[in-house]
Chains A and B, each alone.
Chain A
């Protein structure tokens, strides 16, 4: 795997509304995504994860506004690499890279597919828009190949969306997203509307597709357990801010942020012993009236005084790829880190904190 970066996001701020009514939905988010890597983004509803990805693809609907930061793509082209400033590009330039370099899969395929059109025509249109050199037969062939990729029979092309099952529709969305072999596919909770068994099937199919085709993915979900198998890195968001980021396995085995811990404990594992489920006390934050200090502090069982006063910055734990925004892990914290938040990862040599 090369170490090429295909997406770089720096200090992105996204608001809903403007002036006095503005609500910050994404606050100071920075990350970079490497070629063929999978970034999982986890959090509750309202954590800003969807706003983040729609914002960085400029697909955010009104009243969303991007008020700060940079979004830069880096796509391979004939002349080597091409830097693409998403926020400064013109409409025509953006239209060129849409779908051919960046595609998207939405949560509900039923509402994402035009109910009046057959599946085949949707594929046909995508090809016609971006590659005028293909003939009708070639387009049809390509569409059939794509369906085969996701394990669907070619006769599905003749169907209307409402004639297919949820799982089939979602697979079609994935096939369509891969139609032009983009470098990046963004998935906004693609399995949330499906039953658990189909969810797992699709996630493992996605992993296989990625191995085959080598595209990068940003996968949004509120179910952390899905990400552990699929993602390379996981980013946990709360109230529009990143609260923790780490390689997937490490986040799962050794979560540092209390919210991450809460999230993980909220979902029953499909295998293993049955433990009592704990939710996270309290309710999701009101973005219009965030508390001072850490936004999670009102619900945090480990909160100290400092948490209610000052917002913790996202700090990279030295020697690792693990960042967390929590005062408990800051060098200024004199007390002992709670046991649940200080597990050691077996294959890493870490220094005792």
Chain B
């Protein structure tokens, strides 16, 4: 339990760093942040924009930094992430609308990729030395393909050429969003290719890592013992796999970070709604409140996912739990 508490502590610290960084960085820029921003926007400001900027930074600009920080933290705790400069809506509202697309896409893809990848890794690790080993260089190449490239290729061939999948968007543009069956079916249908592309590009990583762990685990004594006990081959493989999968679960946390980064690209390539699109647009428009809001959101999500993965590892490996009966 102590281990888990330490991880939680770490994540809280990280969250705090992210929040504080968000607060400090714009203020570290020389000069008045408001004027700075307006200067950056180079005269494209409208009265609403100025209002948004002032709300973001203007409150109590003449007050000491600590007080401003207090205001900022207070606002955060109430779920206020500021007002978007370009869209003139509260950032939290904008994000709330889009985030489910991202979670749905990334979540499904991550789970599928992990399951398929580790299973394949077990098989390839177990059959090591056989002809199947040619898959290793192939998988390496697959993993090196930039995600957006793979996505584009898939669209080009499977959607554009073979017409097996729709080309872009999250659902049929002619439908209106709602809880209708046709809408849901459309969402699922349009989600197939994006999810497939994410799974394909991240699969190799899981597979290769798992294969290595499998090979290392098989050389351990307890696997030899399982054979010596006369267990059928399948069972021996299962025992080895169960032990070998642990480091992959530990790595799950890390890869979630990468997957979230990758989601930015999915949305670009497939014209899928979500947080990624918002981020890129925000950067282009220098919509700082939105930018900061997205960054914080993404960071918290990743940290949350990390915590879940850590908890899962803690459950799976009894060695992490110190027993009262320990000698």
| A residues at B contact (CB < 8 Å) | 57, 59, 61, 95-100, 103-104, 106, 108, 111-116, 125-126, 129-130, 159-160, 162-165
Contacts and interface: CB of A to CB of B under 8 A. Distances in A.
A165 B228 CA distance: 24
A99 B318 contact: no
A111 B229 contact: no
A164 B327 CA distance: 7
Contacts of A57: 228
B229 A126 contact: yes
A115 B243 contact: yes
Interface centre among A59, A103, A163, by most B CB within 10 Å? Answer: A163
A113 B229 contact: no
Given A96-B230, A98-B230, A99-B229, A163 B326 contact: yes
Contacts of A104: 225, 228
A164 B325 CA distance: 9
Contacts of B38: none
B62 interface: no
B325 A159 contact: yes
A116 B221 contact: no
B230 A130 contact: yes
Contact of A116 (B219, B227, B318): B318
A68 to B, nearest CB: 24
Contacts of A99: 228-230
Interface in B190-243: 219-222, 224-232, 235, 239, 242-243
A125 B318 contact: no
Interface residues of B, number: 25
Contacts of B219: 61
Contacts of A126: 229
Interface string B102-137: 000000000000000000000000000000000000
Interface of B: 219-222, 224-232, 235, 239, 242-243, 316-319, 323, 325-327
A116 to B, nearest CB: 6
Contacts of A59: 224, 227-228
A79 B59 CA distance: 96
Contact of A103 (B224, B228, B232, B323): B228
Contact of A163 (B226, B243, B316, B323): B323
Contacts of B222: 111-115
Contacts of A115: 222, 243, 317-319
B220 to A, nearest CB: 6
Contacts of B230: 95-100, 129-130
Of B222, B226, B318, B326, most buried by chain A (CB within 10 Å of CB) is: B222
Contacts of B225: 104, 106, 112-113
Nearest to A98: B230
A95 B227 CA distance: 8
Contacts of B226: 114
A159 B235 CA distance: 22
A321 B26 CA distance: 91
B221 A112 contact: yes
